[in-house]
Amino acid sequence: MTKRSAYASTALSIAGSDSGGGAGIQADLAAFTYFGVFGATAITAVTAQNPTRVSAVQAVSAEVVRKQIEAVLSAFHVGAAKTGMLFSAELVETAADALSAHPELPLVVDPVMVATSGARLLQGDAIQALQERLLPMARVITPNLPEAEILLERPIEGDKAAQEAARELSARYNVAVLVKGGHSNSANATDILCEDGRLHALTTPRIEVQTTHGTGCSLSAAMAARMATGCSILEAAMDAKAYVLGRLRACCRVGSDTWVMQAPTTLPREQVECHDC
């Protein structure tokens, strides 16, 4: 008798490994598991890091990255994929080439450029490749404010500017865009979602925590997990926002002065406010 799978679907993460376990592939797998989705991976780089610093990065060869993606997509019924740290133009091109054979696959692109600690995770010449090859392939992209500023080559200050940025990026790449507001100075944490020309503001309380390491990875992975089970982009964004809030509230100390986020015991969906802009 064949045992029925306990997983609702499978999601693929194409991203870097975080030795500290708080971001990258490790955070993605945690989000997939939380939402009942089996997690498959294609590792693009190995990093030596902890929640406060990145001390070394070693990229995986393009050929091995390609073979990882192809191995997963040839054997699993993948419901959605996400990309995180891609590091180089060559790896951006490799991911785009491998995924182009599966245009029906919902893709979440987190344009990871700089770590929370300030370390650069995307080489300068890779930004153009990201813009030309990968962003137009996405179903949704999830830049934070500094990443959106790099993509638009201008500062983004205030709620109206964030709304304009989301709308412009969505029109430029013909994709849904979630501009994350965690780096803003507002009293609440508000993300702006633009989908088909319509703007939504997703707001949660801003809380003081010892670390925010891995919030971006966690949000994009949670969106991919929910989309893998058939959720709409707006539903996925709201659940992902709740998931990140829950992880922030569940921060714990794991070293003398090292804090990490952990999975929430409950998903605080009621704390996510959504309204049209």
Active centre residues (catalytic): 180, 212, 214-217
CB-based contact 110:84 (threshold 8 Å) = yes
CB-based contact 192:169 (threshold 8 Å) = no
Strands 252-253 and 259-260, by their bridges, are antiparallel
Closest CA to 276 of 206, 220, 204, 193: 193
Q: How far apart are CA 234 and CA 238, in angstroms?
A: 6
